[in-house]
Structure 1
Amino acid sequence: MCAGLGVHSLSYDCSANTKTNRQTYLCCHCLENKQCLAEPERAQYGGGIIVNPGFDHNIEGWTVFGKGAIKEPMSKEGNRFIVANNRTQPLDSFSQKVSEGSDTVSVMFKTNGSEMVRGGQVIAKHGCWTLLKGGIVATFSSPVEILFKSKNSTVEIWADNISLQPFSKKQWRSLQDASIERLNFPFGCGTNHHILTNKDCQSWFVDSNTTQREGFKFTTFTNEMKWYSTEKKQGEENYTIADAMLKFTKENDISVRGHNIFWDNPKLQPEWKLGEAAAERMKSVVSRYKGELIAWDVMNENLHFHFYEDKFGENASAAAYATAYELDQEPKLLLNEFNTIEYSGDEASSPAKYIKKLQEILSFPGVSEMSAAIGLQGHFASGQPNLAYMRSGLDLLATTGLPIWFTSKCGSTT
């Protein structure tokens, strides 16, 4: 409640007449003799997520907005309230930063050389405890400090039951061998248009060699299904190469994962205006290959980029998944990202951020029955991979109960 100085209160009629002369009541709590109170009632919902709503702790949590000053007087009856005075502009007032009650917290390892290595990350929520799981591979011999980090300096960081267990390579290997359930999981290889004309490539891809390996039974076309490959000029679709590659894979009993319907990277968009063009792209490619694919990457690299969200609103990606599912209910629909497990320094696509984005998609209307899967690219750089971080990330992603697909492997060697 706010009170203005020097304002006379009048009896307030809460009704309003519409053009149809039907009476409509506005939500303004029409309680007799309570339009102007000598003392305000307590804040509804206990203030919700507002800190110090009744000013029982002076003006803690509140700051000056603009210029002027704020203070906390007390009425004769003992009620505390806030006052903005010495104002010169309309917005000179008081303010408080509010959030939905969650923030990202990382565990960091600091070496003697002051290098900071992120070991894990979690989106911690107010009012409950959340497990932060992580780890590092020690490529140094100096002592380290363990600390916790949140970019939001206005929040408190609470921690309990903290554990850090070192493992030697021998111990790690013994635990790895004991815990991995060895399954005959699908294994494939990406391919491109050269497989249509290169006989050696065809032979290597499909022929079984009992002394080394079997032929690949799964593949992804690296570029041939992407929008910039199938519609180089607006309105001139050409699926000739993708169709021929799909014919080859079907003849050789090779399953195909579709890559991709959209790519969120702003540098890889058609030059023409989107809008209806994006809707037509979705309808065209998904309908054309309905029943032919085992999976689709719907919105590629949706954590690093947000081109479609900027163009069509914050639910653009989730809506794309809903439309893809409506057009074809059979394939698994993947959120395909890089650096989720291979690089702990990339906060944009951490396992915690990945799960949060996936939950946003799965909560969108029309996707409750969608068959989702986790798509992890492998953009590994040279050097020692952080196996402890990778394992903790996979453990966290596995809590979703969804299949985890390693969709590509890129790396450099020296």
Structure 2
Amino acid sequence: MKKTASFILVLSLLLAFIIPAEGGLAAEGNLLFNPGFELGSTEGWYPYGECTIEAVGTEAHSGNYSVFVTDRTQDWNGVAQDMLDKLTVGMTYQVSAWVKVAGTGSHQVKISMKKVETGKEPVYDNIASITVEGSEWYRLSGPYSYTGTNVTNLELYIEGPQPGVSYYVDDVTVTEVGSAATWKEEANARIEQIRKRDAKIRIVDSNNKPVSGVSIDVRQVKHEFGFGSAITMNGIHDPRYTEFFKNNYEWAVFENEAKWYSNESSQGNVSYANADYLYNWCAENGIKVRGHCIFWEPEEWQPSWLKGLTGDALMKAIDARLESVVPHFRGKFLHWDVNNEMLHGDFFKSRLGESIWPYMFKRARELDPDAKLFVNDYNIITYVEGDAYIRQIEWLLQNGAEIDGIGVQGHFDEDVEPLVVKARLDNLATLGIPIWVTEYDSKTPDVNKRAENLENLYRIAFSHPAVEGIIMWGFWAGNHWRGQDAAIVDHDWTVNEAGKRYQALLKEWTTITSGTTDSTGAFDFRGFHGTYEITVSVPGKEPFVKTIELTKGNGTAVYTFTVDGTDAGNVLYGDLNQDGQVSSTDLVAMKRYLLKNFELSGVGLEAADLNSDGKVNSTDLVALKRFLLKEIDELPLKR
């Protein structure tokens, strides 16, 4: 019996670490003891202040138990765990919990950390805060950067509702985000992995024989990642403005020119003249454009004539706006911010009901099926409103809105803490929808600090796999919406330290290289995803230039050209069915080919020759298996 009891105790302790969080399993690396109360007790936890805590099996977010906090005499009373020996100074952590208030009404709930250093007053850090409705589970989360010396007390606790209000807590997690000392190194490692790919340029003669000694110059001319800025009519007529834009950005968004109040200052008098002018300039210069915005939810940003409309009249105005602006820019705007800042306004919702929000998305999709539809809001990476944003997006999706992208505004006043931003992006990325930083700036009179903030934001966002672009909200002090203290170019057109830092990052993340083909006619390079111009100089012949797209994918992207400049076919080794990726489908195809049940020819046959020995056999089959199992990193095999 003693052995059985010991086994059960050990098993229970193990289960405490592998059960809670969302869906049943604990977040990997959770530092808390008994984080989901699945021991059936509050072991590891204690009351924070005058209250009672009890593990209960009547309510649980996941698993079988949660903790019930009752008899609270102060709003800060709650459930706590000692973190002093669990956290490391210099590290940033992601903290989350699920909370359900007993009863009805709206309540504020918080995750907080109390820290005491020798000889100093206690510090109370608010990690996360959210307004909840009673009788429903809510998740709240946020980053915590642990700093200090001679810390003697460190307590994590969940607090918030008014005294006397009871609530449940479940699935609490604390996981590492990164170290202040090594974040940049770790970000660069992620960039190397997610933003680059191996490529091979092959030069052959008319008989498909390799040609060695050919000079190859590789120059990246466009990035797959979106680097852009807001653009405005206030600057477009200045050649210094347009020249800087062309040299530093590949995406644009109109600061005000596509907003409703700009397009229709009085009802029925619609003009897109300024927006069309900006778009035409962008199109002439190969700059992609995202649309901002069809609607803007806060009342203060509505056209003045719209504010007096209600009911059918307001609905007709909404339909007229949709049916005018979306078709007007169909095929031009690649993105649309459908209804800007829905977290911070309710002009349309309060008058027409919450169904108007998904309606806007559905109708925009019908009017332009190819445009990617975005939500867009602030306080997501700069403050603690990420959980409310996630909840809103989930509601929109559940009610039929198709959302292709999540826009997060990044208007920073204080320091840009890269690991805090990463934690907030990690949280948002759980939705599985691409993220764009749609409006970035940092306002500080210290231009060196402005430069540091810019690098922190850009490097951490560029290193995040869910982020697909960053748009500055202006660059020149002469027309920046936040003034010269947020600009990267001064009034006199001097590129300041922040601007130089931005240009240095662009240079760092742009691939330019050169060399000569080897005995197999190949020149290998590793480059950032994007568009390249490849200049091929064959001795005794005129150089020729080819344009290639280096896209995301497994294995080495192979581009083959003949000495006369023609395209001999691009080969992605292992991609037998030519669908642009290497997968188990290709493995099946190779097995069938070797069994003579499947035909391969042309590029598909070349893609199957994984050791480049001129034939496809069991050696290639083994290589493809090993690649899919990640036992080898690239194809074709080096000879």
Superposition TM-score tier, normalisation by shorter sequence: 0.5 to 0.7
Residue of 393, 396, 399 corresponding to 1:358: 393
Instruction: Please tell me whether the aligned partners of residues 334 and 374 of structure 1 are also in contact (alpha carbons under 8 angstroms).
Output: yes
Instruction: Please tell me whether the aligned partners of residues 137 and 386 of structure 1 are also in contact (alpha carbons under 8 angstroms).
Output: no
The match for 2:434 is 403
The match for 2:111 is 107
CA pair 325-116 structure 1, distance change in 2 beyond 3 A: farther
The match for 2:103 is 97
How far did residue 141 of structure 1 move?
4.7
The match for 1:119 is 127
How far did residue 205 of structure 1 move?
1.1
CA pair 301-131 structure 1, distance change in 2 beyond 3 A: closer
Residue of 335, 343, 347 corresponding to 1:303: 343
Give 3-state SS (helix, strand or coil) of 1:377's partner: strand
CA pair 162-295 structure 1, distance change in 2 beyond 3 A: closer
CA pair 356-197 structure 1, distance change in 2 beyond 3 A: same
Residue of 205, 220, 233 corresponding to 2:266: 233
Is 1:247 aligned to residue 257 of structure 2? Answer: no
Q: Where in structure 1 are there 5+ consecutive unaligned residues?
A: 1-47, 50-59, 61-95, 208-214, 345-349
CA pair 316-136 structure 1, distance change in 2 beyond 3 A: same
The match for 1:286 is 326
CA distance in structure 2 between the partners assigned to 1:164 and 1:246 by the alignment: 45
CA pair 115-412 structure 1, distance change in 2 beyond 3 A: farther
Matches within 5 A, 1:165-314: 168-180=179-191, 181-183=193-195, 184=223, 185-207=225-247, 215-272=248-305, 273-274=308-309, 275=314, 276-314=316-354
CA pair 117-304 structure 1, distance change in 2 beyond 3 A: farther
How far did residue 309 of structure 1 move?
0.6
Instruction: Please tell me whether the aligned partners of residues 106 and 121 of structure 1 are also in contact (alpha carbons under 8 angstroms).
Output: yes
CA pair 371-330 structure 1, distance change in 2 beyond 3 A: farther
Query: Relative CO higher for 1 or 2, CA cutoff 8 Å, sep ≥ 6?
Result: 2
How far did residue 412 of structure 1 move?
1.4
Give 3-state SS (helix, strand or coil) of 2:326's partner: helix
Give a deviation string over 1:81-118, Cα, whole Å, max 9, x none: xxxxxxxxxxxxxxx9358xx98754212345455433
Give a deviation string over 1:317-355, Cα, whole Å, max 9, x none: 2211111111111111111001101123xxxxx221111
The match for 2:407 is 375
Give 3-state SS (helix, strand or coil) of 1:340's partner: coil
CA distance in structure 2 between the partners assigned to 1:241 and 1:235 by the alignment: 17
Instruction: Please tell me whether the aligned partners of residues 259 and 295 of structure 2 are also in contact (alpha carbons under 8 angstroms).
Output: yes
Is 1:148 aligned to residue 183 of structure 2? Answer: no
CA distance in structure 2 between the partners assigned to 1:279 and 1:351 by the alignment: 30
Paired residue type of 1:294: L
CA pair 174-124 structure 1, distance change in 2 beyond 3 A: farther
Paired residue type of 1:372: D
How far did residue 287 of structure 1 move?
1.4
Paired residue type of 1:358: I
The match for 1:332 is 372
Paired residue type of 1:262: F
Aligned-residue Cα RMSD (Å) equals 3.4
CA distance in structure 2 between the partners assigned to 1:161 and 1:371 by the alignment: 29
Question: Greater share of helix residues, 1 or 2?
Answer: 2
Instruction: Please tell me whether the aligned partners of residues 111 and 142 of structure 1 are also in contact (alpha carbons under 8 angstroms).
Output: no
CA pair 166-277 structure 1, distance change in 2 beyond 3 A: closer
CA pair 242-341 structure 1, distance change in 2 beyond 3 A: same
How far did residue 405 of structure 1 move?
0.4
Paired residue type of 1:409: Y
Paired residue type of 2:430: T
CA distance in structure 1 between the partners assigned to 2:238 and 2:357 by the alignment: 37
How far did residue 154 of structure 1 move?
3.6
Give 3-state SS (helix, strand or coil) of 2:283's partner: helix
Give a deviation string over 1:40-87, Cα, whole Å, max 9, x none: xxxxxxxx99xxxxxxxxxx9xxxxxxxxxxxxxxxxxxxxxxxxxxx
How far did residue 202 of structure 1 move?
1.2
CA distance in structure 2 between the partners assigned to 1:277 and 1:397 by the alignment: 33
Instruction: Please tell me whether the aligned partners of residues 341 and 377 of structure 2 are also in contact (alpha carbons under 8 angstroms).
Output: yes
CA distance in structure 2 between the partners assigned to 1:266 and 1:129 by the alignment: 30
Give a deviation string over 1:234-278, Cα, whole Å, max 9, x none: 211111111111111111111111001111111111222341222
The match for 1:392 is 423
Instruction: Please tell me whether the aligned partners of residues 136 and 387 of structure 1 are also in contact (alpha carbons under 8 angstroms).
Output: no
Instruction: Please tell me whether the aligned partners of residues 137 and 387 of structure 1 are also in contact (alpha carbons under 8 angstroms).
Output: no
CA distance in structure 2 between the partners assigned to 1:280 and 1:378 by the alignment: 32
Paired residue type of 2:259: K
Paired residue type of 2:381: I
Residue of 116, 124, 142 corresponding to 1:134: 142
CA distance in structure 1 between the partners assigned to 2:281 and 2:178 by the alignment: 48
- Percent of aligned positions that are identical: 30
CA pair 293-156 structure 1, distance change in 2 beyond 3 A: same
Give a deviation string over 1:216-240, Cα, whole Å, max 9, x none: 2101000000111111122111111
Give 3-state SS (helix, strand or coil) of 1:190's partner: strand
How far did residue 142 of structure 1 move?
7.0
How far did residue 162 of structure 1 move?
4.7
Provide the TM-score with structure 2 as the length reference.
0.43
Q: Where in structure 2 are there 5+ consecutive unaligned residues?
A: 1-57, 60-69, 71-101, 196-222, 446-639
How far did residue 146 of structure 1 move?
2.0
Instruction: Please tell me whether the aligned partners of residues 110 and 130 of structure 2 are also in contact (alpha carbons under 8 angstroms).
Output: yes
CA pair 126-175 structure 1, distance change in 2 beyond 3 A: farther
CA distance in structure 1 between the partners assigned to 2:423 and 2:132 by the alignment: 17
Question: Greater share of strand residues, 1 or 2?
Answer: 2
Give 3-state SS (helix, strand or coil) of 2:228's partner: coil
Paired residue type of 2:304: E
Is 1:157 aligned to residue 192 of structure 2? Answer: no
